[in-house]
């Protein structure tokens, strides 16, 4: 009898031990557990030049996507900081969904975008596509986003003086000029805003989240049924009709330039109930000849009044209701650098049906919760469709 119980006990212990080893084996294989040696082994194969990484490598670099490494969360997924064996910091965007492209096509597309390099564009090192995992690996920006510096000054240690604001504005303009005119992939960003401009250690601005749409060299229009953008930054013709050209980015840049001068978010600034956004108020002050009142009071008297008014006027040119009357980004750079004379903004263009519809969105926007007001996609009913899709539907991140 005693021997029988002994055999049973041994069997139970053996079964439990086998089950434990099996669970540990599965956990190790899936990367749930790993010691420092295995982490270093995983990272050894992570070469920033290849452009394609394994999920195990990225998981090791981010310490299994630890909460302490989480930098933020946007409409398309979470962002984590990672570090390679040599100490190189990286930013990993963990996308919540994937484009309609197949894996191979997606990797090829990322490979082309990764080849885009400019001092004012965040560099994309590559991606990871494994099962349901879709991650993008970027260079890490030490000083967070421009939005953090401008609008969250209570939580930001950065003090952005007037010369720095000018330099940031010019840098963004140069980055957009490159994407529109000089890169191998001519593309429209579609979502230029303060949160999509990152600042490095020297406060050099770098455009992120690019590669969502592109136009061919003939500048054909892309009329889409799904608009990716943010309320308050989108050009009227794009927001309501899906009519996409480079001039949509020019409009968004104009709004952003105003925010840089004023230090306030376009859709979160209402001087009175009669105005739904900063741009409304700017137009009123322009007509009254009081543009200087817009300058961020945090600057005190430490700014050049002539330069400030100049930048506001350029922003107004960029936000013209008529796309054809907006300058190109290369023209904007020349105006910002003082190489080209600035035309007086014409704010008397008749308001279009699209703008009237956008005006109706204003009150609803202010009723939104904070996380809803920064949405990056809006459904629309277009008046027409393009003969071919110049860029497959893909997700921002």
Q: Are strands 243-244 and 222-223 parallel, antiparallel or unpaired?
A: antiparallel
b/e 34-54 (16+ beta carbons within 10 angstroms → b): beeeebeebbeebebeebbbe
φ, ψ at 328 (rounded to 5°):
-80, 165
Which H or E run includes 228?
A: strand 226-228
Phi-psi region of 211 (alpha: psi -120 to 50; beta: other; left: phi over 0): left
Residues identified as active-site: 191
Concatenated DSSP letters for 12-48? Answer: HHHHHHHHHHHHHHHHHHTTSS--HHHHHHHHHT--T
b/e 96-113 (16+ beta carbons within 10 angstroms → b): eeeeeeeeeebbebbeeb
Q: Is 37 known as a binding-site position? A: no
Concatenated DSSP letters for 87-128? Answer: --EEEEEEESS--SS-HHHHHHHHHHHHT--BTTBPPEEEEE
First to last CA, the chain: 67
Determine the 3-state secondary structure of 320 from DSSP: coil
User: In whole angstroms, how large is the CA radius of gyration of the chain?
Assistant: 25
Structure tokens at 248: 């949509």
Helices (H), the chain: 2-29, 36-44, 55-61, 103-114, 146-151, 162-177, 236-241, 246-262, 278-288, 305-318, 329-336, 353-367
The whole-angstrom separation of Cα 357 and Cα 112 is: 37
Angle between helix 246-262 and 278-288 (nearest 10): 80
Which H or E run includes 214?
A: strand 213-214
Q: Is 94 known as a binding-site position? A: yes
Q: How far are the Cα atoms of 261, 290, 291, 302 from residue 295, in angstroms, in the given order?
A: 6, 11, 8, 11
| CB proximity list for 350: less than 8 A, separation 6 or greater | 321
Q: Is 209 known as a binding-site position? A: yes
> Which amino acids are annotated as binding site for ATP, given as ranges?
94
> Which amino acids are annotated as binding site, given as ranges?
94, 196, 209
> Which amino acids are annotated as binding site for Mg(2+), given as ranges?
196, 209
């Amino acid at each position: 009898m005693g021997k029988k119980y002994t055999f049973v006990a041994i069997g139970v212990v053996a079964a439990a031990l086998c089950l434990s080893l099996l669970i540990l084996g599965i956990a190790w294989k899936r990367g749930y557990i790993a010691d420092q040696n295995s982490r270093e082994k995983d990272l050894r194969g992570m070469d920033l030049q290849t452009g394609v990484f394994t999920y195990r490598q990225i998981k090791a670099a981010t310490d299994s996507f630890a909460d302490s490494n989480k930098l933020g969360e946007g409409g398309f997924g979470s962002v984590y900081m990672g570090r390679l064996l040599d100490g190189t910091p990286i930013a990993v965007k963990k996308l919540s969904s994937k484009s309609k492209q197949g894996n191979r096509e997606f990797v090829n597309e990322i490979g082309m975008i990764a080849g885009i390099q400019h001092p004012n564009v965040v560099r994309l090192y590559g991606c990871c596509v494994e099962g349901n995992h879709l991650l993008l690996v970027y260079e890490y920006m030490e000083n967070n986003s421009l939005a953090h510096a401008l609008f969250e000054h209570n939580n930001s240690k950065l003090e952005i003086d007037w010369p720095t604001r000018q330099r940031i504005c010019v840098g963004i303009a140069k980055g957009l000029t490159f994407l529109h005119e000089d890169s191998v992939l001519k593309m429209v960003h579609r979502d230029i805003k303060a949160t999509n401009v990152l600042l490095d250690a020297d406060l050099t601005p770098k455009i992120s989240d690019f590669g969502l749409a592109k136009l061919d060299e003939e500048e054909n229009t892309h009329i889409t049924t799904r608009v990716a953008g943010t309320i308050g930054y989108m050009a009227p013709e794009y927001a309501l009709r899906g009519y996409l050209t480079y001039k949509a980015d020019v409009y968004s840049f104009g709004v952003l330039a105003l925010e840089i001068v004023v230090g306030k978010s376009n859709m979160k600034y209402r001087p009175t109930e009669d105005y739904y956004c900063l741009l409304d108020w700017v137009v009123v002050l322009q007509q009254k000849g009081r543009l200087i009142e817009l300058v961020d009071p945090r600057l005190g008297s430490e700014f050049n009044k002539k330069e400030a008014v100049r930048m506001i006027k350029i922003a107004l040119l960029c936000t013209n209701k008529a796309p054809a009357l907006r300058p190109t980004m290369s023209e904007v750079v020349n105006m910002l650098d003082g190489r080209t004379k600035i035309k007086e903004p014409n704010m008397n263009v008749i308001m279009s049906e699209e703008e009237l519809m956008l005006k109706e969105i204003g009150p609803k926007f202010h009723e939104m919760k904070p996380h809803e007001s920064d949405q990056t996609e809006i459904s629309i009913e277009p008046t027409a469709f393009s003969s071919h899709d110049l860029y497959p539907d893909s997700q921002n991140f």
